[in-house]
């Protein structure tokens, strides 16, 4: 497979520039089981894990593993289901946009057997950015391509350009924009704003409640996914539409190798969701890998990363309560674990959980919380 030279990329990009999708948003929450310490410590292969919004997608990844496919192909097969899903507004098609109403996507991947990596950031109009990150890894001698250059590279490689903003996400963005017009702030009711939002959603109370929640607590929705096969080879990917209503060009941890995605085929893999800035500051993915290398379980390694986040705030719970962050880890033996800064999810409807598929069926397992308090905004 030939690598792209800088000159070839420039010329092809120049020519191409002249031619121009968790579970369902309003569905019932699936049952969550408590982590099984014995099974988790022992591990099982093949195995694939992700954040909770990948629960319905892990079958695709496990199918790849059971057929002897590559672990990175398995992880990307799973997250592609979520990227394609217009009802998941945290990833890919239908993701919540930036402050200007543009959906910008980020993704990264690492292939354990070869130690290679690929990443893209601030990509517009390209839906499957996890696969695009893999294409960067395979077709270039770069690790990261961003913005307009990443879009042109995608088009040159045959990716389809589409409008990523669904009507659902557009309406929520309009409601968010209107919040400043009515001097509305999260936690303060404004009858005028509520009336306006009701008109936007034609009185649909369920959609109004959801819009209010994501405007008050802008989601940092993401899906990291890690897979290990029977031989112990391991790979991972992380894909996201980033922080809702972000400044255009803002990039979180998802495309940052060593933060939102990290793999060492001799040890394991790690990923994250939540406030990416906090993860970047501690190189969370790398931290977890190194803790597992020293013998920590995946769960304890994730908790150590959270401890470092909390330490940056001197464990001040009032300051820490302004955000949420989760870490996920899988080692090469198939042992897995995850941890959350707070016990609850941002909407306080259920405990933080992650998705696991061990070859039988996908299920949700509770994350280990650093703090038991009901806190955390996103």
Catalytic: which of 80, 135, 220, 222? Answer: 222
Q: Is 222 in the active site?
A: yes
Q: Sheet holding 144-146: strands in order across?
A: 32-33, 362-366, 353-357, 47-51, 222-228, 234-240, 105-111, 116-123, 144-146
- The residue whose two tokens read 């022992």 is 42
Residues 71, 229 contacting (CB under 8 angstroms)? yes
User: Phi/psi of residue 212, each to 5°?
Assistant: -60, -40
Cα maximum dimension of the chain = 61
What is the Cα–Cα distance from 171 to 21, expressed in whole angstroms? 17
Q: How many CA within 13 A on the CB side of residue 175?
A: 30
Q: What is the DSSP string of 188-253?
A: ---HHHHHHHHHHTTT-HHHHHHHHHHHHS----EEEEEEE-TT--EEEEEEE--STTPPTT---S
* Angle subtended by helix axes 191-200 and 167-181, to nearest 10: 160
Q: Is the preceding omega at residue 46 within 30 degrees of 0, hence cis?
A: yes
Partners of 33 in beta bridges: 365
Of 89, 149, 142, give the one whose Cα is nearest residue 119: 142
Helix, coil or strand: residue 145: strand
| Catalytic residue numbers, as ranges | 222
């Amino acid at each position: 497979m030939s690598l792209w030279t800088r000159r070839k990329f420039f010329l092809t990009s120049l020519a191409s520039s002249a031619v121009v999708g968790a579970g369902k948003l309003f569905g019932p929450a699936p049952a969550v089981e408590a982590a099984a310490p014995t099974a988790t410590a022992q591990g099982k292969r093949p195995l694939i894990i992700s954040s909770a919004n990948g629960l319905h997608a892990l079958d695709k990844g496990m199918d790849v593993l059971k057929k002897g496919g590559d672990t990175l192909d398995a992880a990307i097969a799973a997250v592609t289901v979520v990227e394609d899903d217009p009802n998941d507004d945290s990833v890919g098609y239908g993701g919540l946009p930036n402050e200007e109403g543009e959906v910008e996507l980020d993704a990264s991947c690492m292939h354990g057997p070869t130690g290679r990596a690929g990443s893209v950031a601030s990509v517009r109009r390209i839906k499957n950015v996890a696969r695009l990150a893999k294409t960067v890894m395979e077709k270039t001698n770069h690790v990261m391509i961003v913005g307009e250059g990443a879009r042109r590279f995608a088009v040159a490689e045959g990716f389809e350009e589409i409008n990523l903003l669904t009507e659902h996400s557009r309406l929520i963005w309009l409601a968010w924009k209107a919040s400043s017009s009515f001097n509305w702030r999260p936690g303060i009711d404004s009858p005028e704003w509520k009336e306006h939002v009701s008109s936007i959603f034609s009185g649909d109370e369920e959609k109004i409640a959801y819009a209010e929640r994501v405007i008050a607590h802008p989601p940092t929705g993401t899906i990291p996914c890690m897979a290990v096969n029977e031989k112990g080879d391991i790979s991972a990917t992380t894909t996201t539409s980033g922080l809702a209503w972000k400044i255009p060009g803002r990039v979180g941890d998802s495309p940052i190798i060593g933060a939102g995605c990290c793999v060492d085929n001799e040890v394991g893999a790690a990923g994250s969701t939540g406030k990416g800035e906090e993860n970047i500051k501690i190189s969370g993915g790398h931290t977890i890998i190194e803790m597992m290398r020293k013998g920590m379980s995946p769960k304890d390694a994730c908790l150590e990363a959270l401890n470092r986040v909390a330490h940056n705030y001197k464990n001040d719970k009032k300051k820490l309560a302004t955000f949420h962050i989760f870490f996920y880890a899988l080692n090469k033996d198939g042992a897995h674990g995850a941890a959350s800064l707070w016990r609850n999810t941002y909407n306080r409807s259920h405990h933080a959980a992650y998705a696991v598929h061990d070859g039988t069926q996908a299920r949700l397992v509770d994350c280990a919380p650093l703090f038991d308090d009901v806190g955390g905004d996103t």
